[in-house]
């Protein structure tokens, strides 16, 4: 079984990138399951029912999120209702949505778990304790984890914590692809950050001149999503019958230029 994971989709340019590259990605990698992080899909921050449905229409089987998931209040009812969209499991239990979901893929029950890092981000519980509790009661043959975290050391620690227990731990949130993707000794595919899906002519998806103005002048600046040189970034993992990874491959695919 093959899993294609696509990192933080930033705004309309990121959604377009997914839509336009998905046929080539499917032809090249033949994924059985496509998981997309969509927490920045609405104008570069947050997710709405419309942007989630854009990603589902483009080929997502499951959408993960992160610290901006609740940016748009009008999306709360959809987040609560949509079983194929998950938010960090270590958020307060009464918050809209769910922290993991189960999907049937190639005759196997697959869990997709979303976690938020506890260092530099606001969470209700430790991501380590939370994922342990989920795995203890999970009725699935294999699990995929999106660890949406700020600090590389916490992401690496989660990879080792889950090695041999889940098929893959994909790091998200920092938008810059790392060079540490591999299969750990116990059989868990890991990467600190898969990168973002959006404009590379940007600062993490935002127009460079706006970020520079804020950083240099230290004044409030309205950010806009950059649109040029869109790339889709992620990873493909081959999962064996034991529910662990045999192979990891990083994905960096340029989208066709806008006509």
Is 68 assigned a catalytic role? yes
Tell me the backbone φ, ψ of residue 81, rounded to 5 degrees: -85, -35
Q: Choose, from 68, 72, 100, 148, the residue flagged as catalytic.
A: 68
Q: Cα separations (Å) of 183 from 2, 162, 195?
A: 14, 12, 18
CB atoms within 10 A of CB 157: 17
C-beta of residue 40 within 8 angstroms of C-beta of residue 68: yes
**Residues carrying an active site annotation:** 68
């Amino acid at each position: 079984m093959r899993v294609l994971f696509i990192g933080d989709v930033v705004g309309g340019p990121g959604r377009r990138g997914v839509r336009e590259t998905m046929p080539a990605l499917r032809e090249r990698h033949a994924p059985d399951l496509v998981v997309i992080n969509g927490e920045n899909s609405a104008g570069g921050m947050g997710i709405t029912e419309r942007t989630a449905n854009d990603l589902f229409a483009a080929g997502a089987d499951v959408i993960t999120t992160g610290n901006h998931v609740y940016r748009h209040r009008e999306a709360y009812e959809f987040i609560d209702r949509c079983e194929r969209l998950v938010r960090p499991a270590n958020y307060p239990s009464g918050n809209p949505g769910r922290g993991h979901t189960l999907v049937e893929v190639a005759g196997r029950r697959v869990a997709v778990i979303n976690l938020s890092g506890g260092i530099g981000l606001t969470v209700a519980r430790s991501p380590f304790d939370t994922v342990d509790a989920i795995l203890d009661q999970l009725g699935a043959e294999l699990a995929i984890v999106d660890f949406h975290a700020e600090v590389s050391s916490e992401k690496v620690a989660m990879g080792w914590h889950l090695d041999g227990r889940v098929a893959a731990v994909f790091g998200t949130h920092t938008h810059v692809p790392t060079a540490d993707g591999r299969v750990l000794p116990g059989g868990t595919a890991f990467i600190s950050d898969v990168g973002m899906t959006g404009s590379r002519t940007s600062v993490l998806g935002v127009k460079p001149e706006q970020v520079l103005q804020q950083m240099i002048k230290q004044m409030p600046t309205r950010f806009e999503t950059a649109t040029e040189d869109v790339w889709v970034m992620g990873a493909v993992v081959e999962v064996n019958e034991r529910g662990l990874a045999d192979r990891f491959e990083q994905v960096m695919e340029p989208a066709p230029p806008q006509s």
